[in-house]
Amino acid sequence: MTEPTDHTNNTQPKYHCEQAITFLPKVLTTLLAILTIVSLVMYIAIGIEAAMVLVIVLGFSVVIGLLLSKIKIKVGSGVLTIRFGPLKTVLRISEIKSIESVTINPLSVYRGYGKRFGKDGSIGYIASGKKGIRVKMNGGKVFVITCDNPHDLLVVVKKYQDNFSH
């Protein structure tokens, strides 16, 4: 879901996007099927205690997986906020050196999805898709964030930067 530029009070542009990691539901469904089969086999072969431990451990893993299934991007009040489950990164727009639209190969550069560290040293918030933005901070850190419509995000961040430069 993307909500591009919104001029509330005609002063501050805002942006909000939730990007789902689309392959995750298939993985979780597969894990649940495997969990069911393994639990039945363990119950028959070993007993109920071992099966219950497996159910609890894998059930907890599925819950964590669901919590980490979306990357949320927000721009407002002079900051760009990226949230992935309980992990949160806040970038002050006034400290952004440059921002650009990029196309990436998530598996090649970041070896997967979620919050990842790229081969190039960047920190990636990678959901489905290959389109996103690269944000270089004044301190040297580089962030890559995938999103459905990077153009809208660029427009809002650049409007904030224009407000800071005046």
Co-location of 38 and 119 in the same domain: no
| E strand intervals along the chain | 2-3, 15-20, 70-76, 79-84, 87-92, 96-103, 114-117, 123-126, 131-137, 142-146
Residue 140 is assigned to a structural domain of this protein: yes
Residue 7 is assigned to a structural domain of this protein: no
pLDDT tens-digit readout, 40-61: 777 777 766 766 776 777 777 6
Co-location of 124 and 43 in the same domain: no
Co-location of 108 and 144 in the same domain: yes
Co-location of 158 and 77 in the same domain: yes
Co-location of 62 and 92 in the same domain: no
Residue 146 is assigned to a structural domain of this protein: yes
Co-location of 32 and 91 in the same domain: no
Q: How confident is the model at residue 98 (pLDDT cuts 50, 70, 90)?
A: very high
Domain that residue 35 falls in: 24-67
Co-location of 58 and 111 in the same domain: no
Spatial separation of the C-alpha atoms in residues 23 and 165, rounded to whole Å: 41
- Provide the token pair at 143: 């962030």
Q: How confident is the model at residue 101 (pLDDT cuts 50, 70, 90)?
A: very high
Look at 65 and 132; give whichever has higher pLDDT. Answer: 132
Q: How confident is the model at residue 67 (pLDDT cuts 50, 70, 90)?
A: low
CB atoms within 10 A of CB 133: 20
Whether residue 92 has pLDDT greater than 90: yes
pLDDT tens-digit readout, 118-162: 999 999 998 877 899 999 999 999 999 998 889 999 999 988 888
Co-location of 46 and 116 in the same domain: no
Among 10-19, 33-42, 111-120, 127-136, name the one with the lowest average pLDDT. Answer: 10-19
Q: What is the mean pLDDT of residues 88-93?
A: 94
Residue 47 is assigned to a structural domain of this protein: yes
Whether residue 88 has pLDDT greater than 80: yes
Whichever domain contains 87, its CATH number is 2.30.29.30
Co-location of 57 and 88 in the same domain: no
Co-location of 53 and 122 in the same domain: no
The number of distinct structural domains making up the chain is 2
